[in-house]
């Protein structure tokens, strides 16, 4: 399955401006913030990636899958990859998905493919 998501960067910038970096921790791990940074463009891309992963799994973010069940990491070449928590990996029968993230001036988009 394939999942895709589009996020407006301004929305993330406003969230960060209003609530600070602590708001990002509601959907990102410390490792993700350290690895990708807290710039609105990067955060929007990570949000889009997690939403795309949930769609590729056919469930969306909710009771069966949370933002923290999905970790976006960099592989040895620096490309993003999506890793699932052990709970989610067991539930969906996989532990990783292929992800592509990009952004431009106003939006970030991500595509996830269930391997």
What's the N-to-C CA distance of the chain in angstroms?
8
Active site residue 55: yes
The pairing of strands 107-114 and 2-8 is: antiparallel
10 Å Cβ neighbour count for 20? Answer: 11
10 Å Cβ neighbour count for 104? Answer: 9
Q: Which of 74, 76, 103, 107 is labelled catalytic?
A: 103
Q: Which of 55, 90, 105, 114 is labelled catalytic?
A: 55
Active site residue 103: yes
Mind telling me the catalytic residues? 55, 103
């Amino acid at each position: 399955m394939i999942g895709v998501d589009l996020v407006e960067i301004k929305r993330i910038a406003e969230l960060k401006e209003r609530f600070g970096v602590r708001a990002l921790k509601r959907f990102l791990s410390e490792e993700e913030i350290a690895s990708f940074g807290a710039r609105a463009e990067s955060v929007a891309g990570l949000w889009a990636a997690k939403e795309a992963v949930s769609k590729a799994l056919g469930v969306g973010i909710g009771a069966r899958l949370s933002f923290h069940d999905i970790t976006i990491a960099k592989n040895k070449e620096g490309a993003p990859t999506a890793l699932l928590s052990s709970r989610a990996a067991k539930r969906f029968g996989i532990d990783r998905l292929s992800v592509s993230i990009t952004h431009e001036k106003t939006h970030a988009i991500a595509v996830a493919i269930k391997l």
